[in-house]
Chain A
Amino acid sequence: MDIIITALELGLISSLTVLALYLSYSMLNVCDLSTDGCFTLGAAVGAVTALAGHPLLAVPAAMGAGLLSGLVTALLQTYLGVPSLLAGIVVNTGLYSINIAIMGNTALLNLNKTTTIFTKAKTLLEGTFLASQYRLVVIAFFVVLVIVFLSFFLKTRLGLAIRATGDNRAMVRSSSINPFMTTIVGLCISNSFTGLSGCLLAMYQRSANVTIGSGMVTIALASLLIGNSFLSKTQNITVKAVGAVLGAFLFRLVYTVALRLNMPASMLRLVSAVIVVIAISAPYLRDRFPEFKRRFENRRA
């Protein structure tokens, strides 16, 4: 039971990054490769703020940092003409130095004795029936908040414009909306979620290191695609967002079980890489299969 709870907690934390990609990858059609660096940025800013004695401020600070990072990525790929994949890579690389600088020129920050949002929640919930699950409560609170925000926001005019940007950019322009603006707003919001995700993980595991976010973009993409494959039929935005969270949990669960079966922890990234490939290639190959089959049969004949 404990390992399921842990998987749920870690799954929900990474689901915030999955929701960030839901916005950037599924809606804006931008594969945001700055995700790893932004995740670490959130962790670093969150950890430093908590260490400075402001555990509650840590969350908005990390989100704000993520937002700024998203702003830079977005400006690069709109007004500065950098191709979107490259913009993400460039920001990711630059963030490595920035993250170390934020952490005070060390690669590791220890939060073992620091008051965090989790320890705050623990004292707050003491004596209530939720006391034992205080970590889950904190994480679930943020996940629900983000889902509620997204399902409201994506139906507003701005949200519609962001969705249309990834769907038909020309149509956005002809609706008298600047697609640069929608890209910028979308990436700012999505990266603030990524920052939040990193901040929560740092506080959850009571440490932040400079590689905390590496591989995150692949893991989150894998989770997103897993969630999508279950709910490919629905068009409902809220259901899809919940599906993304479910995907993150499932991914984490499979990984936890694999660890139990003595899979080395270092295999996580290989597993996530393979899942991304399968999730993207499988539908493609399925569509091509009849063609392959006919070619094969004709060759034998």
Chain B
Amino acid sequence: MTTAKSTSNTTAMLELIKVSKTFNAGTPDSKKALDNLDLSVKKGDFITIIGANGAGKSSLFNAICGTFLTDSGSILLDGTDITFMPDHRRAKSIGRLFQDPMMGSAPGMTIEENLALAAGHGGWLSSITKAEREEFRARLAVLDLGLEDKMGSRVGQLSGGQRQALTLLMATINPPKVLLLDEHTAALDPGTSEKVLKLTRDIVEGQNLTCLMITHNMQSAIELGNRILMMDGGKIIMDVEGEEKKNLTVSALLEAFRKKKGVELSNDRMLMI
């Protein structure tokens, strides 16, 4: 088992250097969300992230996306320092999906219009062209949900699974430098969840995207990707990749957690297998 590396790796796509964030600092509610965290993500890495509630997983994503500015440390994306870049500008190179399928798309607008906004082709005053429409149709067909035949339907009429699949497509229609998946299948029923997860794998591997995925499902955390991180108390407490990761089992993960923390894992959601 190796610890988090922050060596000046030239192929690093995303690098967090000593990043800290404390909420409500100086008050009794003070909460250390990220604690001097170092992380180096190589281009093409598909990393799964596990950890109990409040471990700092979503805070890590929020820091990368610029939802808040970090208290200290710096964040580099593909060699560019984005520590102080506003979130909407980072969004050009970072795709993100949330647990709530409603968050990623505009319900009152059509599928086609949502895709056009995400794609952002052309100037401000350009409309959707025929070529774009064809491109959207082809991309939607890959989802295998029949959405390509109802591009004029409002997104609000879609099911949660369809909306999440659409959001996944929107987030990757221009290949992002980093794709962040924040438990994006947790709110879906098991069948749909599996389907969206398969789509995720197809898209991430097909486009060779660099991807970080938070999940509470230990089994898929082990099966998916080439590297697994376990977080606790705003730190990365375990970092396993490659061959070693392939041989991981759920019970080995739990054992590792027990050793690191010296306590039993008590969080029900963490134990979902």
Measured between C-beta atoms, what is the minimum distance from A164 to chain B in Å?
A: 4
Contact of A175 among B118, B122, B123, B125 (CB under 8 A): B118
Contact of A167 among B89, B103, B107 (CB under 8 A): B107
In this assembly, does A178 line the interface, its C-beta being within 8 Å of a C-beta of chain B? yes
- Residues of B near A156 (CB, < 8 A) are 124-127
CB pair B88–A157 under 8 Å, yes or no, is: no
CB pair A170–B124 under 8 Å, yes or no, is: no
In this assembly, does A229 line the interface, its C-beta being within 8 Å of a C-beta of chain B? no
CB pair B88–A173 under 8 Å, yes or no, is: yes
- Residues of B near A175 (CB, < 8 A) are 91, 117-118, 120, 170
- Residues of A near B125 (CB, < 8 A) are 153, 156-158
In this assembly, does B92 line the interface, its C-beta being within 8 Å of a C-beta of chain A? yes
In this assembly, does B113 line the interface, its C-beta being within 8 Å of a C-beta of chain A? yes
The distance in angstroms between the C-alpha atoms of A167 and B104, with both chains bound, is: 11
Within 8 A of A (CB), among B122-145: 122-128
- Residues of B near A178 (CB, < 8 A) are 86, 88
Measured between C-beta atoms, what is the minimum distance from B77 to chain A in Å?
A: 14
Binary CB contact string for chain A from 142 to 168 against chain B (1 if under 8 A, 0 otherwise): 000000000011011110110110111
The distance in angstroms between the C-alpha atoms of A163 and B88, with both chains bound, is: 17
Contact A160 to B118, CB < 8 A, known contacts A155-B128, A170-B103: no
Measured between C-beta atoms, what is the minimum distance from A189 to chain B in Å?
A: 13
The distance in angstroms between the C-alpha atoms of A178 and B85, with both chains bound, is: 13
Contact A168 to B91, CB < 8 A, known contacts A156-B126, A157-B126, A175-B118: no
- Residues of B near A157 (CB, < 8 A) are 116-117, 120-127
CB pair B117–A160 under 8 Å, yes or no, is: yes
The distance in angstroms between the C-alpha atoms of A225 and B218, with both chains bound, is: 51
CB pair A161–B117 under 8 Å, yes or no, is: yes
Contact A176 to B88, CB < 8 A, known contacts A158-B125, A167-B107, A168-B107: yes
The distance in angstroms between the C-alpha atoms of A112 and B116, with both chains bound, is: 51
- Residues of A near B106 (CB, < 8 A) are 163-164, 167-168, 171
The distance in angstroms between the C-alpha atoms of A179 and B117, with both chains bound, is: 13
The distance in angstroms between the C-alpha atoms of A166 and B123, with both chains bound, is: 21
- Residues of A near B91 (CB, < 8 A) are 173-176
CB pair A235–B154 under 8 Å, yes or no, is: yes
In this assembly, does A177 line the interface, its C-beta being within 8 Å of a C-beta of chain B? yes
- Residues of B near A170 (CB, < 8 A) are 103-104
CB pair B88–A167 under 8 Å, yes or no, is: no
CB pair B108–A163 under 8 Å, yes or no, is: yes
Binary CB contact string for chain B from 233 to 273 against chain A (1 if under 8 A, 0 otherwise): 00000000000000000000000000000000000000000
Closest B residue by C-beta to A156: B125
Interface size counted on chain A using CB atoms at 8 A: 24
Chief secondary structure at chain B's binding surface: loop
In this assembly, does B21 line the interface, its C-beta being within 8 Å of a C-beta of chain A? no
- Residues of B near A161 (CB, < 8 A) are 117
Most B CB contacts (10 A, CB to CB) among A164, A174, A179 go to: A174
Closest B residue by C-beta to A158: B124
- Residues of B near A160 (CB, < 8 A) are 109, 113, 116-117
Contact A171 to B103, CB < 8 A, known contacts A156-B126, A158-B125, A177-B88: yes
CB pair A163–B120 under 8 Å, yes or no, is: no
Most B CB contacts (10 A, CB to CB) among A156, A171, A172, A235 go to: A171
The distance in angstroms between the C-alpha atoms of A172 and B170, with both chains bound, is: 12
Within 8 A of A (CB), among B87-116: 87-89, 91-92, 95-96, 103-110, 113-114, 116
The distance in angstroms between the C-alpha atoms of A171 and B107, with both chains bound, is: 10
Contact of B96 among A164, A174, A235 (CB under 8 A): A174
The distance in angstroms between the C-alpha atoms of A161 and B154, with both chains bound, is: 16
Within 8 A of B (CB), among A172-226: 172-179
- Residues of A near B86 (CB, < 8 A) are 178
Contact of B104 among A158, A174, A176, A179 (CB under 8 A): A174
The distance in angstroms between the C-alpha atoms of A167 and B156, with both chains bound, is: 10
Measured between C-beta atoms, what is the minimum distance from B87 to chain A in Å?
A: 6
Measured between C-beta atoms, what is the minimum distance from A254 to chain B in Å?
A: 29
Binary CB contact string for chain B from 147 to 168 against chain A (1 if under 8 A, 0 otherwise): 0000000100000000000000
CB pair B124–A164 under 8 Å, yes or no, is: no
- Residues of A near B113 (CB, < 8 A) are 160, 163
- Residues of A near B104 (CB, < 8 A) are 170-171, 174
Closest A residue by C-beta to B108: A167
- Residues of A near B114 (CB, < 8 A) are 164, 171
- Residues of B near A158 (CB, < 8 A) are 124-125
CB pair A167–B109 under 8 Å, yes or no, is: yes
The distance in angstroms between the C-alpha atoms of A152 and B109, with both chains bound, is: 16
Contact of B87 among A155, A171, A173 (CB under 8 A): A173
Interface residues of B (CB under 8 A from A): 86-89, 91-92, 95-96, 103-110, 113-114, 116-118, 120-128, 154, 170-171
- Pick 17 A–B contacts, CB within 8 A, sort by A: A156-B124, A157-B121, A158-B125, A163-B113, A164-B109, A164-B117, A166-B108, A167-B107, A168-B103, A168-B106, A168-B107, A170-B103, A174-B91, A174-B104, A174-B171, A175-B120, A176-B92
5 further interface pairs, Cβ-Cβ under 8 Å (given A171-B106, A178-B88) = A163-B113, A164-B114, A168-B105, A170-B104, A171-B117
- In the complex, the 7 A-B pairs of residues with the closest C-beta atoms, listed nearest first: A167-B106, A158-B124, A176-B91, A176-B92, A168-B106, A164-B106, A167-B108
